[in-house]
């Protein structure tokens, strides 16, 4: 069964506490918190003050996705602000190995995010540096904007990555983010994903709890 992380970015941004409550009531497993700096991606979103204010109101683990140029510089501050999982892009300026080590030193799982145009093999040299419960975040849309169409060509990359992780016999997870609904989520799970990030599919649903259940339906 997949774990579901619901992106608060797709909710009413004027009522984030209420959106967080909806996500919790829907029985999601995590709250996904997207951070964009206007440089690494062509958009701006939440930062440290918002996370610090939201964290005391959230009952779920907060899954923070850094879409920023220098995640190494900010990792400790985001953990102190409330991140329970922290992912960063391999395409960022920060050294990926150093960033992994920094997040591990802070005592939480680390994730390496991979944009659709980046070959999955780019992360292979880093897999043996990862720790149990770490994860690879495979983007099935281009990072920076919500509401994009799912890119099915990433499914082969997910399957290849899962095969590599299995061959290494490592307890690592594959998270998928972008255009996730019941159909695309099932396709990602069949390819090897075990964490699904959903946004509008859950928060724009008439029944968010049912939307979350549909993502967890046994294959």
pLDDT given at position 115 = 97
pLDDT given at position 147 = 64
pTM over 0.95, yes/no: yes
Task: Let me know if 29 is a catalytic residue.
Answer: no
Chain centroid to CA 74: 17
> What is the CATH number assigned to the segment(s) 3-216?
3.20.20.70
Q: Is the pLDDT of residue 75 over 80?
A: yes
pLDDT given at position 198 = 96
pLDDT given at position 144 = 84
- Give the active site residue among 34, 37, 63, 134: 34
Task: Let me know if 177 is a catalytic residue.
Answer: yes
CA angle 141, 144, 150 (to 5 degrees): 15
What are the domain boundaries of the chain? 3-216
- Give the active site residue among 29, 63, 134, 177: 177
Interval 141-200: pLDDT, tens: 999 876 678 999 999 999 999 999 999 999 999 999 999 999 999 999 999 999 999 999
Interval 201-218: pLDDT, tens: 999 999 999 999 999 999
């Amino acid at each position: 069964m997949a774990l579901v992380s619901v992106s608060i970015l797709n909710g009413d941004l004027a009522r984030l506490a209420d959106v967080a409550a909806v996500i919790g009531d829907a029985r999601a497993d995590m709250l996904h918190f997207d951070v964009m700096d206007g440089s690494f991606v062509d958009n701006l979103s939440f930062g440290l003050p918002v996370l610090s204010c939201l964290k005391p109101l959230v009952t779920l683990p907060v899954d923070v996705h850094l879409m920023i140029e220098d995640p190494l510089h900010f990792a400790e501050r985001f953990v102190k602000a409330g991140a329970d999982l922290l992912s960063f892009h391999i395409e960022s300026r920060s050294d990926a190995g150093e960033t992994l080590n920094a997040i591990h030193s802070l005592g939480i799982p680390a994730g390496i995010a991979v944009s659709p145009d980046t070959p999955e093999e780019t992360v292979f040299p880093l897999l043996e540096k990862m720790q149990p419960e770490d994860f690879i975040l495979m983007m099935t849309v281009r990072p920076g904007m919500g509401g994009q169409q799912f890119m099915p060509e990433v499914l082969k990359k997910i399957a290849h990555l899962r095969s590599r992780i299995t061959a290494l016999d490592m307890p690592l997870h594959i998270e998928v983010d972008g255009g996730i609904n019941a159909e695309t989520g099932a396709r990602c799970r069949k390819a090897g994903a075990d964490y699904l990030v959903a946004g509008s599919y859950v928060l724009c649903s008439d029944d968010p709890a049912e939307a979350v259940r549909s993502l967890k339906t046994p294959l």
